[in-house]
Amino acid sequence: MCGIAGYIGLQPRDPRQTLINFNEAIKHRGPDASGFWHKDNIGLSHTRLSIIDLSDAGTQPMHSKHNLHLVFNGEIYNFNSLKKDLTNQEFKSHSDSEVLLNYIDQFGIDKTLDAIEGMYAFALYDGNDQSLYLVRDRMGQKPLYYWHEKGQLVFGSELSVIKSYLGKNIPLDQNGIALYWKYGYIPTPHTAYKNIFKLPQATVLHWKQKKISSKTYWSIPPVSENSQIDNILDELNNRIQKSVQQRLISDAPLGVFLSGGLDSAIITSYAKESIEDLKTFSMGMNDKSFDESADAQNSAEQFNTNHISKNISYEFENDLKNIVQHFGEPYGDPSSLPTYHLSRITSEYMKVALSGDGADELFGGYYRYLIRDKMDAFSKIPGWIRNPFVNLLASIKKEPPGFYGNSFIKKLVLFNNRTDLLSKSKYNIAPIVFSHEEVKQFSPDQEEITEDPIVQYADRYQQLRAPHQMMWVDTMMYLESDINIKVDRMSMAHGLEVRSPFLDHRICELAAQLTYQEKLNGNNQKYILKQAVKNRIPQNIINRPKKGFGLPLGLWFQTNLKQYFEKNILNDSNGPFDIAPLKKLWAEHQSNKKDHGLKFWQFCIYKEWTKSL
């Protein structure tokens, strides 16, 4: 895993210093080595985290004998088998990057993209026709941002690269910011800045003669509601096993993130077959409703792993600054904070970790999928009856500041709120933090959303049964634009590479052929996955309730973060928010009338981000 950056179509006053600045902006992604190359109007730079071939021979940029130049971030898991296809090629290293470069040199980029298996983002400059290719992997695990204006293009693994070139006062994109307030993150291809974009998954962008074009080189097959797969349990098991085995290839130490849940247990069970002294990692939390460390320890004992678990003491102001800095734009998923610290702990022992990300979206692991059909029935009760009744119950029972899954009233309020949103638009199927009406109260000048990629995907999958539609919108948007970004940015902040076996494209293709009933069987979530692994995973792990990787924000904004929020948000009359409506939310939260912890987190993130503008 590494960091890549570069430019084309422009001639900086000092190309060398420009590329050095790029590498400085992403040095945390590649602490082992760095390099750059430039000629005329093209420049490429690279920071290296050595995973395959730890020698200097794997340093980038790499150059082929036919005038191709490459900077690569990620892993090609099948590079050894691809190497056998190559003829008349000389290799200076044992790295996957050099195999990729020579494969493109011999077979062309289209055939190469069909052949490679992995997670990656790379830039390839063809000196023969002075064109540049930017490429991102099939499921969008590795990031790539680009700025394009008047034929000039700058790209990088993180927004910080482009910011180092453009400097301060970059024009903001109001649509991107509006998307942040709605979802708590900014869906691909948008960012918070004008003319800066995330390259979508499975996309090739081609720059030539100051013009850009793009195409999708792979897509998930049409999602089915009629399964036609023989021996589905064996096939699913085989694909997971092969995916895990591929991702164990490393010349650097490798471990596994192990929570108390099913997905990481599956990854651990397969990894343990190949690594006798397998190290697994988890972290504990003081709030027991969110803490999975005891369950993780129990799983580790059942799989006989060398388990490392630590309790975290958060330093909130420094933590906020660090995570906002690494995202480079507003990103409000609070699980970024524990992911940041879990990655820090793991990086003290390992350079590579496997995770269970992707299984919830592909196989139906979220609670919201279960309740989606029930919302249609609940919505038949008129809002003027339903809302006062729910509000009355909430005022009597109140909302305790803990995990929502342990609270009937929290689940009821959430259920009712989502029912209201669906009654306003059939496309409101993703979790929404703020409606536009709410945003206008504390930010009166905020413009409405003009382009919403999540709505576009909801429309694309509207022929599916409603919960299945939700799963695939999450797979194509939430997974790429929230989960993958979080895992990449928080792990690479500590020079740790995280690999996700469930995101192997063959597993995703198989999931597309499964019916809704095979994923959600009554109230049994991830049914097909549980059936596939029931002979290798203990039943107590399979049957554990899902907790997720959240934070006790409700409690924190009454204790640890109370003073911080009052000082930095409520008492800042010159800040970006209208304070009066925020004080009303604050009073409701402090009296336990409503838990607004997630909303307050969005304010903190946004405010911290504005300091960098």
What DSSP state is assigned to residue 501? Answer: G
Task: Give the per-residue pLDDT at 404.
Answer: 56
- Please tell me which of 283-287, 425-429, 547-551 the model is most confident about, judged by mean pLDDT: 425-429
Q: Which residue has the tokens 């095979």?
A: 518
Both 524 and 605 in one domain: the answer is no
Task: Report the length, in residues, of the chain.
Answer: 613
Final residue before a domain boundary, out of 141, 167, 193: 167
**Picking from 196-210, 376-390, 484-498, 524-538, which range would have the lowest pLDDT averaged per residue?**
376-390
Count of other CB atoms within 10 angstroms of residue 39? 12
Nearest-angstrom CA–CA distance, 458 and 372: 14
Is 103:85 a contact under the CB 8 Å cutoff?
yes
**Does the pLDDT of residue 53 top 60, yes or no?**
no
Q: Each residue of 136-162: pLDDT tens digit?
A: 999 999 999 999 999 999 999 999 999
Asked if residue 591 and residue 520 are part of one domain, the reply reads no
Residues 553-565: tens digit of each pLDDT? 998 999 989 999 9
Q: How far is CA 259 from CA 280, 349, 487, 543, in A?
A: 9, 18, 15, 14
Element (H, E) at 424: helix 408-424
How far apart are alpha carbons 577 and 548 in whole angstroms? 31
Please tell me whether residues 486 and 533 are part of one structural domain: yes
- Specify the DSSP class assigned to residue 480: I
| Half-sphere exposure for 609 (CA within 13 Å, toward CB) | 24
| Whether 90 and 25 share a structural domain | yes
Alpha-helix runs per DSSP H in 76-208: 79-83, 96-107, 109-115, 159-166, 174-183
Residue 398 confidence (pLDDT) above 70: no
What domain range is 115 assigned to?
2-167
Residue 608, both tokens: 């911290």
Q: Residue 499: which H helix or E strand, with range?
A: strand 497-499
Q: Look-up: residue for tokens 């803990």?
A: 402
CA distances (Å), origin 308, targets 248, 278, 281, 296: 19, 11, 5, 10
Q: Is 352 in the same domain as 434?
A: no
Whether the CB-CB separation of 508 and 362 falls below 8 Å is answered with yes
Reply yes or no on whether the pLDDT at 519 is more than 60: yes
pLDDT digits (tens, 9 = 90+) for 575-587: 899 999 999 999 9
pLDDT, tens digit (0-9, with 9 covering 90-100), for 339-397 = 999 999 999 999 999 999 999 999 999 988 988 878 777 777 887 778 777 777 767 76
Lowest mean pLDDT among 162-171, 198-207, 392-401, 543-552: 392-401
Which tens digit of pLDDT belongs to each residue from 99-114? 999 999 999 999 999 9
474 and 460, same structural domain? no
The upper half-sphere exposure of residue 382, i.e. CA atoms within 13 Å in the direction of its Cβ, equals 2
Does residue 413 sit in the same domain as residue 360? no
- How many Cβ atoms from other residues are within 10 Å of residue 528's Cβ? 23
Per-residue pLDDT reduced to its tens digit, 65-100: 999 999 999 999 999 999 999 988 778 788 899 999
In this predicted structure, what is the pLDDT of residue 88?
A: 80
Residues 349 and 475 in one domain: yes
- Cβ atoms < 10 Å from Cβ of 380: 9
CA gap 464, 215 in Å, rounded: 26
* CATH number assigned to the domain comprising residue 475: 3.40.50.620
Domain CATH code at residue 90: 3.60.20.10
In the listed set 167, 184, 200, which residue is the last one of a domain according to the structure?
Answer: 167
Q: Hey, what's the torsion of the CAs at 103, 512, 487, 141, to 10 degrees?
A: 20
Residue 211 lies in a domain: no
Are both 51 and 148 inside the same structural domain?
Answer: yes
Shared domain for 290 and 395, answered yes or no, is no
206 in a domain, yes or no?
no
Question: Which pLDDT score, from 0 to 100, does residue 59 have?
Answer: 79
How does residue 52 score in pLDDT terms, banded at 50, 70 and 90? low
> pTM for this structure?
0.94
Q: Is residue 41 in a domain?
A: yes
Work out how many domains the chain is built from and give that number. Answer: 3
Q: What is the mean pLDDT of the chain?
A: 91
pLDDT of residue 573: 85
CA angle 261, 142, 507 (to 5 degrees): 50
